[in-house]
Amino acid sequence: MNVTTSPSLSWVKQQVRQFTRWGNVPRFLLHDNDGIFGQYRAGQKRDEKRLRYRSHLDLWLREVKGIQGIPSPYGAPNANAHVERFHRSLREEALNHFIFLDARHILQVCREYVTYYNGARPSQALHAIPDPYSELLNPQARTGRVVAIPVLGGVQHDYRRAA
C-alpha cells in the first residue's frame, strides 16, 4: 500500500509491479473509472480473442501481468461496497483520530491499520477467529488473563488471551 497526492497511470502501474514482484499475482483487480487510467476507445477489439478493454490500465494488466482488470460501473457507488466499507472503517477507526504532519505519517498509520484490519479484527468469513500474532502462536488456554495489544498508539486494541 502506498500514498501519493498526484496519482497517475504510471504510478498505479508501479504499485501493481511492486505488489506482484514476489509472485503473489491476483486474478482480478477491481478499480474505479478514473481518468488517470487512460480511457481506451469503447469497444475496441484486440487480436483474435476479441477482448474488450475499458481503459489502458485494463489492457496493460491483461497483456503484461495476466490480471483481469474489473472497472466498477459508471454511477454505481454500491458496486464497490466492500472497498467503500473498508475506506469508511479506515477513516472512522484510524484517520479521524490523528492530526497528520506529512504523507509519510499518513502512510505509517494506514499500514498499521491494514495489518490490524487483516490480522486482528474478527471476520465473519473466518468465523470471528483471527490468526494469532507470532508472539501468541502457542496453544491458547480456555481460561486465563486477557492481554490488550495497543494498535495505532492505543487508538485501537487487539484483545488476545495470554499463553
pLDDT in tens, 14-25: 989 988 888 778
Q: Which of 67, 48, 49 is nearest to 57 (CA)?
A: 67
Q: Indicate whether 89 and 153 sit together in one domain.
A: yes
- Can you say how many angstroms the Cα of residue 154 is from the centroid of all Cα atoms in its chain? 23
pLDDT tens profile 121-159: 665 555 555 555 555 555 556 677 888 889 998 898 888
Residues 79 and 41 in one domain: no
pLDDT category at 95 given cuts 50, 70, 90 is very high
Residue 85 has pLDDT above 80, yes or no: yes
Mean confidence (pLDDT) of the chain:
79
What grid cell was written down for 53?
478493454
Indicate the DSSP class of residue 65. Answer: I
- My answer on whether 153 and 82 are in the same domain is yes
Position 103, amino acid: A
* Confidence (pLDDT) at 23: 79
- For residues 59 and 97, state if they share a domain: no
Let me know whether 28 and 101 are in one domain. no
Q: Are residues 65 and 85 in the same domain?
A: no
Give residue 134's pLDDT.
59
The whole-number pLDDT of residue 98 equals 93
Q: Are residues 100 and 60 in the same domain?
A: no
Q: Classify strands 51-52 and 45-46 as parallel, antiparallel or unpaired.
A: antiparallel
Residues 82 and 9 in one domain: no
- pLDDT on residue 20: 85
The one-letter amino acid code at 44 reads Q
The answer to whether residues 79 and 151 belong to one domain is yes
Same domain, 80 and 56: no
146 and 96, same domain (yes or no): yes
Number of folded domains in the chain? 2
Does the structure show a pLDDT above 90 at 91? yes
Shared-domain flag, residues 90 and 146: yes
CA-CA distances (angstroms) from residue 111 to 3, 5, 9, 49, 94?
10, 17, 22, 39, 11
Let me know: does 59 contact 37? Beta carbons within 8 Å: no
* Of the residues 21, 44, 71, the one at which a domain ends: 71
Yes or no: say if 82 and 61 are a contact pair by the CB < 8 Å rule: no
Please answer whether residues 58 and 50 qualify as being in contact, where contact means their C-beta atoms are separated by less than 8 angstroms: no
Stronger pLDDT, 110 or 79, i.e. the higher one = 110
State the DSSP code for 4: -
For 31-84, the pLDDT digits (tens) are: 887 777 777 665 555 555 566 778 888 888 988 888 988 888 877 777 778 778
The domain containing residue 116 runs over which residues? 75-163
